[in-house]
Amino acid sequence: GKRIGVLTSGGDAPGMNAAIRAVVRKAIHDGDEVFGIRYGYRGLAEGDIFQMEERDVSDLTARGGTMLYTARYPEFKDAEGRQPAIDQLKKHGIDSLVVIGGDGSYRGAAALAAEGIQTVGIPGTIDNDIPGTEYTIGFDTACNTALEAIDKIRDTATSHLRTFIIEVMGRNAGDIAVWTGIGSGAEQIIIPEADFNMDEIVANIENGRKRGKKHSIIVLAEGVMEGHEFADKLYEYDDYHARVTVLGHVQRGGAPTARDRVLAALFGYKAVELIHEGAAGVCVGMMGEKIVATDINEALESKGHSHDNQVKLYNINTEISF
């Protein structure tokens, strides 16, 4: 059997625990030994490593966050920063490593692979901005959490005939904004992948009011600008105070949805299969509803996350949200 390490790195996301569980159970099922590494690459370098048994991951799938904790460890970008991690892996006889995280974590995994460690990446972030997959673990849960909040804001927006700007997460990607915008029937979605024109936005709000619309919901991706900045700009065009809600970190928490739990289980299972096949420096993903594996460097070089899907959804929303 293999000796497989598993860690979570970068930002946490709901569903990471379900992925850890799948890795541990599949590996033990296949006769491997599994080692949990706490606090990402930092914990790896510091030797925060423990052997995991099947009961260590009981009652885990429903829990948000990550039981292995996570950390940022910029030192890992340099070979000197990685050496203590490689030494720790050798010391524990760990020959392969599953890294659950974002593109920064993938870069770390690719660097370790180049240095002879068999690494497999699993995409975990709410932002959905990782190459090599159409969906990341945590994205579906974050969208559902944001939608629940937007639905509540809509009730008050309707009661007061108000314009609300709701800033959602996503870093430089508009995925959460476009999904929650369509899902909530927002009048406007503002994403980094598409230009916006304040004159048009103001005209749309005005037209909506004239046609008896009771409110206007604008879902703004954080990657464009901050909600308050957008409200100030809107005010310059329209003598109107829009209310701003920044959803913030609530979007990162909570029990994962069915979709995220299943995706996490499939990714974890596939990662262990890939290790048995001898793959190294690869990442798992879902493409066209199929679980696939891609070389990490190829995935990172493919200019990251495709924009086509967001723009398509954005255009559809424009046609159905007047």
Count of residues of this chain found to bind ligand ATP when the rule CB under 6 A is applied: 19
CA–CA separation, 162 vs 165, rounded Å? 10
The CB density around residue 86, as the number of other CB atoms within 10 Å, is 16
* Rg, C-alpha atoms of the chain: 22
DSSP 99-120: EEE-HHHHHHHHHHHHTT-EEE
Least separation, in Å, of the C-beta of 190 and ligand ATP? 21
Catalytic site positions: 127
Q: Which of 9, 17, 144, 216 binds ligand ATP (CB under 6 A)?
A: 9
To ligand ATP, the closest distance from the beta carbon of 228 in angstroms equals 24
Task: Tell me: is residue 92 an annotated ligand-binding position.
Answer: no
Cβ 281 to ligand ATP, closest distance in Å?
A: 13
Determine if 272 is a binding residue for ligand ATP (CB under 6 A). Answer: no
Nearest alpha carbon to residue 24 among 2, 64, 54? 54
Q: Which residues touch 221 (CB under 8 Å, ≥6 apart)?
A: 167, 168, 170, 173, 174, 176, 177, 178, 189, 190, 191, 192
Cβ 267 to ligand ATP shortest distance, Å: 15
Which residues lie below 8 Å from residue 191, measured CB to CB, with a gap of 6+?
A: 174, 177, 178, 221, 223, 224, 310, 314
Write the interaction track for ligand ATP spanning residues 75-114; mark x where CB under 6 A is met and - where it is not: -xx-----------------------xxxxx-xx--x---
Q: Which stretch binds ligand ATP (CB under 6 A): 68-76, 186-194, 301-309, 313-321?
A: 68-76
Angle at 286 between CA 60 and CA 107, to 5 degrees: 80
Cα–Cα dist 237/251, whole Å: 31
Measure the N-to-C terminal CA separation of the chain; round to a whole number of Å.
59
Q: Is 73 in the site for ligand ATP (CB under 6 A)?
A: yes
Residue with Cβ nearer ligand ATP (72 or 213): 72
Task: Provide the minimum distance between the beta carbon of 10 and ligand ATP in the complex, in angstroms, as a whole number.
Answer: 2
Parallel/antiparallel/unpaired status of strands 163-168 and 188-190: unpaired
Q: Is 10 in the site for ligand ATP (CB under 6 A)?
A: yes
Site string for ligand ATP, 123-162 (x = CB under 6 A): --x-x-----------------------------------
Mark the binding-site residues for substrate, compressed into ranges: 125-127, 162, 169-171, 222, 243, 249-252
Mark the binding-site residues for ADP, compressed into ranges: 21-25, 154, 185-187, 211, 213-215
Q: Contact positions toward ligand ATP, by CB under 6 A?
A: 9-11, 41, 72-74, 76-77, 101-105, 107-108, 111, 125, 127
